[in-house]
Each structure stands twice: as structure tokens, then as C-alpha cells.
Amino acid sequence: MKPLDLPFARPAMDEAMIAAVADTLRSRWIVTGPRSAQFESALSQRFGGRSVRAVTSATAAMQLALEMLHIGAGDEIVAPAQSFFVTGNLIERSGAKAVFVDVDLVTRNLDLDAAQSAVTPRTKLLLPTHYNAPLDPAALAAFAKRHGVRILEDAALAIGSRYPDGRAVGATGDLVTFSFHPNKNMTTIEGGAIVLDAANEIATIDELRFHGIRRLPDGTRDVEQAGTKYNFSDVSAALGLEQLKHLDDWCAQRERLAMHYFRCLEGDDLLTPDRLPPRHNPGHSWNMFTVLLPLAAYGKPRKAFIDAMREEGIGIGISYEAIHLTSLFRQKGFQEGMFPNSERISRETVTLPLHPEMTESDVERVCAALSRLLRRKAA
Ligand SMILES: Cc1ncc(COP(=O)(O)O)c(C=O)c1O
């Protein structure tokens, strides 16, 4: 097998980033400290001055949000059936009941009408993912008001996304969490953040992310709510601060590459526009370029396609499996046929390579391989 010279995701990295990490290591202050605070305030600037708390991952940020909201047994959370496993896992771990709803086939965002119908008096939270397009902030705010629920926006894929009015995703809304995993639009190796407003909630996150410790005026420490340990490291922050400087340029390059994908795939009678992400998508940060494979025409399982692309040195991802069809949720009575769009995406989706150090000729190479393989197998 050829080495994978074109992975589906790859963090951009330069010497300034490496030097910033090395400087931090040399400083000996490597855990939470001045650089973490600087990183949080740089993010806060992007999010219109809202408060930001950086933690070890988006998963950690989302978990802290659920704990902060005291969500547990007897509560319900409405969430998309098509998102990363973390959505189902965290609901399950909180003790609440997951109430899944379907997503739109093209934007892959949660269907808000279906979410309205899923609300009950036990609903505490809506947990939508910003997927193939930014969620509509006005619709989310109206939903929260109408139903008296909190909203936690999973914006793991959306660091760098902007709304049509130019504001960054995260600059508005209720609770918003981001991921800085290397597959995302900027990285801190592992890392995540939560954006929030209320002083008491910020104080709770501060405590929960570091053992629940509260400093008392007499210099002693106390714990009221059992905390955990998700504090951010200054080494990660040093990398994040350098990465953040390039985020907008990288998103612009991602968009250029995405548009080139559309141009290259245009007119392909197998990859029709309904199988592609939304083309007119201003402000979208293009973390992924997802395609629904025409498996019937291809005549082979998706894995055969992924393996064949790998043979060409091209990495292909899968985002995501339908959460309600995991063993975890099948045991609770979820089954095929409940959320057709989520299930179809789960069966047919592949993620094509898209990262800012790619060139248009890389895109052409992917499209040529894709087109050739699909036709070869279809013939
Ligand atoms: C939609 C979504 N939400 C949350 C996460 C969790 O991010 P992290 O790896 O930073 O915990 C991911 C990770 O891939 C994701 O894709």
C-alpha cells in the first residue's frame, strides 16, 4: 500500500508555532498559567467579548456544561441522531434521557421542527451540532424562549465559522463549545473551550474544571461541588495563540478548496448536487467536505471505496455513524427507520481530504481518483 500522502485532515504547522511551544517549555511554566489566560482572552475577542474557558477537549467542555446545568436522571436532552458519538455518550453519562431527532440531508444540521415536536416538560437542553452550515442563531434563540430550555451548541467543527452578519459562531447564543483537536480548523493538540456569559456559571466552570476547588478569603481551600480535572496547559495555549493568528486565512483557503471541489465534481452524473454539501454557504468554516457515495451505482461496499482510495495514497474519513444505531442506544429501543436522513448519511457518507496546506491540484487528484474508481466499479 502506498503511504498516505494526502490524509483527509492535517493540522497546519509552522516554525513560529514550534518556537512558541519550545519557548513555553523553556519557561518551565507548562501547565495552566499566563498563556492559557492569554489564549482565553484572544478567543473572547473573537467571540465579541463573551467569556471563554479553555479545557482539555470539547468533550470535557460539553461534560462540564451538563454538570453545571445539573442535568441528570429524569431530564431529557433533544439532540441530533447524526453527530459525533460524544453527543450520545455525554447524555448517557449524565443520566438524562437522549431524545434524538433527524437532521437535514444536505446541511446535516438538526431539524428544528422535529426538535419542537420532541420537547416535553422534562426537556432541559437542546444539543445541536453546527455541521455542514452554521446553525440559525435567531431560530435557536426563539426555540429556547418558546420552550424554556437551555441550548448547548456543539461547535466543535465550527471554529472559524461566521454568521451572515459577520459575527463569529460563538459570539452569540447560550452555551457554545469548540474543539481544537488536530482534525479541526485550528489545534492545540488536544483542547476545547466553552463560551458563556453568566458570572455564576463561569465561576462553576472554573471550579469544576479544577477539582471543584474554591479559594476562601482566609487562604484555605474548600470544595462544594465534586469537580474534575480538565484544566488547559500553557503548552497547548502557546500553540493555540499562534494557530489563532492564521485561522481566518486557513478558513478562506478551505473555502477556496471546497469551491474547487464543486467545480471539479460539477456535471458528474454519479455525484449529483444532492450528494454534496451546500455550495452557497457564506461564512462556513469548511472543516469537512462530505459526500454521499452512490453505492448502488458503485456496486460495492463503502469500505471497498475507502480502501481503493487509500491505495492511491488518499485518506478518507467517515463522519458520522448514526448515534441511535450504536449498540448503546439500540439496547434502549432505537432501531433502523427512525431517522432516515441520519441513517442514510451514516451508510453513504465519506469525508474527502480538506486542509489548508492542500493545493487545488490535490483537489483535482482526489476528484480524478474518485471519479475513476466509482466508474470502474460501476461498469
Ligand atoms: C461534532 C463533534 N463534537 C465534539 C467533538 C469532540 O471534540 P474533542 O475531540 O475535542 O473532545 C468532536 C470530535 O471530533 C466532534 O466531531
Span 133-164, pLDDT tens digits: 999 999 999 999 999 999 999 999 999 999 99
Q: Are 283 and 170 in contact (CB under 8 A)?
A: no
Considering 208, 240, 272, which residue would you say is the last residue of a domain? 240
| Residue 348 in domain | yes
Output the CA torsion sign for 60, 64, 66, 70.
positive
What single-letter amino acid sits at 229? K
Q: How far is the CA of 368 from the centre of ligand 1 (A)?
A: 30
The predicted pLDDT at position 165 comes to: 94
Q: How far is the CA of 378 from the centre of ligand 1 (A)?
A: 35
pLDDT digits (tens, 9 = 90+) for 247-295: 999 999 999 999 999 999 998 999 999 999 999 999 999 999 999 999 9
The predicted pLDDT at position 267 comes to: 87
Q: How far is the CA of 192 from the centre of ligand 1 (A)?
A: 9
Q: How far is the CA of 372 from the centre of ligand 1 (A)?
A: 32
The predicted pLDDT at position 43 comes to: 99
What single-letter DSSP state applies at residue 274?
A: G
What single-letter DSSP state applies at residue 195?
A: E
Based on the domain organization, do 204 and 269 belong to the same domain?
A: no
Q: What is the mean pLDDT of residues 174-186?
A: 98
Residue 178 reports pLDDT greater than 60: yes
Return the biggest CA–CA distance within the chain: 78
| Alpha helices in 136-198, H assignment, sequence order | 137-147
The predicted pLDDT at position 2 comes to: 65
Q: Poorest-confidence range of 33-37, 212-216, 374-378? A: 374-378
Based on the domain organization, do 196 and 261 belong to the same domain?
A: no
| Residue 3 in domain | no
Three-state DSSP state, 54: strand
Structural domain span for residue 145:
15-240
**Quick check: is 145 catalytic?**
no
Cβ–ligand 1 distance for 158 under 6 Å, the answer: no
Based on the domain organization, do 260 and 233 belong to the same domain?
A: no
Locate 216 and state its grid cell.
476562601
pLDDT digits (tens, 9 = 90+) for 313-346: 999 999 999 999 999 999 999 999 999 999 999 9
Based on the domain organization, do 208 and 254 belong to the same domain?
A: no
Q: How far is the CA of 298 from the centre of ligand 1 (A)?
A: 31
Q: What is the mean pLDDT of residues 21-45?
A: 98
Q: Are 364 and 5 in contact (CB under 8 A)?
A: no
Report which ligand 1 atom has the smallest distance to the Cα of 319: 16
Based on the domain organization, do 167 and 227 belong to the same domain?
A: yes
Cβ–ligand 1 distance for 79 under 6 Å, the answer: no
Cβ–ligand 1 distance for 178 under 6 Å, the answer: no
3-state percent breakdown (helix, strand, coil) of the chain, nearest 5: 40, 15, 40
pLDDT digits (tens, 9 = 90+) for 344-379: 999 999 999 999 999 999 999 999 999 999 998 444
Cβ–ligand 1 distance for 156 under 6 Å, the answer: yes
| Residue 320 in domain | yes
| Residue 6 in domain | no
The H or E element spanning position 309 is helix 302-311
pLDDT band at 81 (very low <50, low <70, confident <90, very high): very high
The predicted pLDDT at position 159 comes to: 98
Report which ligand 1 atom has the smallest distance to the Cα of 181: 10
Based on the domain organization, do 233 and 272 belong to the same domain?
A: no
Based on the domain organization, do 235 and 316 belong to the same domain?
A: no
Burial string for 170-188 (b: 16+ CB within 10 Å, else e) reads: bbbbbbbbbbbbbbbbbbb
Q: Of the candidates 366, 245, 241, 379, which has an alpha carbon nearest to the alpha carbon of residue 309?
A: 366
Give CA–CA dist 247/356, Å, rounded: 10
Cβ–ligand 1 distance for 152 under 6 Å, the answer: no
Q: How far is the CA of 86 from the centre of ligand 1 (A)?
A: 7
* Mutate which of 55, 56, 57, 59 for ligand 1 pocket (most atoms within 8 A of beta carbon): 59
Three-state DSSP state, 86: helix
Q: Residues near 272 by Cβ (< 8 Å), separated by ≥ 6?
A: none
Based on the domain organization, do 116 and 262 belong to the same domain?
A: no
* Mutate which of 179, 180, 183 for ligand 1 pocket (most atoms within 8 A of beta carbon): 179
Q: What is the CATH number of the domain that holds 41?
A: 3.40.640.10
Cβ–ligand 1 distance for 179 under 6 Å, the answer: yes
| Residue 5 in domain | no
pLDDT digits (tens, 9 = 90+) for 297-314: 999 999 999 999 999 999
The answer, yes or no, to whether the previous bond of 320 is cis (omega within 30 of 0) is yes
| Residue 1 in domain | no
| Residue 99 in domain | yes
**Structural domains in the chain (count):** 2
Q: What is the mean pLDDT of residues 215-224?
A: 97
Radius of gyration of the chain (CA): 21
Global pTM reads 0.98
Residue of 124, 145, 184, 229 with catalytic role: 184
Based on the domain organization, do 210 and 346 belong to the same domain?
A: no
What single-letter DSSP state applies at residue 162?
A: B
Locate 185 and state its grid cell.
480548523
Beta bridge mates, 24: none
Cβ–ligand 1 distance for 154 under 6 Å, the answer: yes
Q: Are 101 and 80 in contact (CB under 8 A)?
A: yes
Based on the domain organization, do 85 and 121 belong to the same domain?
A: yes
Based on the domain organization, do 171 and 285 belong to the same domain?
A: no
Q: What is the CATH number of the domain that holds 308?
A: 3.90.1150.10
The H or E element spanning position 234 is helix 234-265
The predicted pLDDT at position 263 comes to: 98
Based on the domain organization, do 254 and 291 belong to the same domain?
A: yes
Locate 128 and state its grid cell.
445541536
Considering 218, 240, 262, which residue would you say is the last residue of a domain? 240
Residue closest via CA to ligand 1's atom 14 equals 84
Q: Are 63 and 86 in contact (CB under 8 A)?
A: no
Residue 1 reports pLDDT greater than 70: no
Considering 240, 255, 285, which residue would you say is the last residue of a domain? 240
| Residue 345 in domain | yes
Give CA–CA dist 365/87, Å, rounded: 34
Q: What is the mean pLDDT of residues 116-142?
A: 98
Number of Cβ within 10 Å of residue 274's Cβ equals 8
Measuring CA to CA, how many Å separate 65 from each of 53, 55, 136, 151, 280? Answer: 11, 12, 21, 10, 33
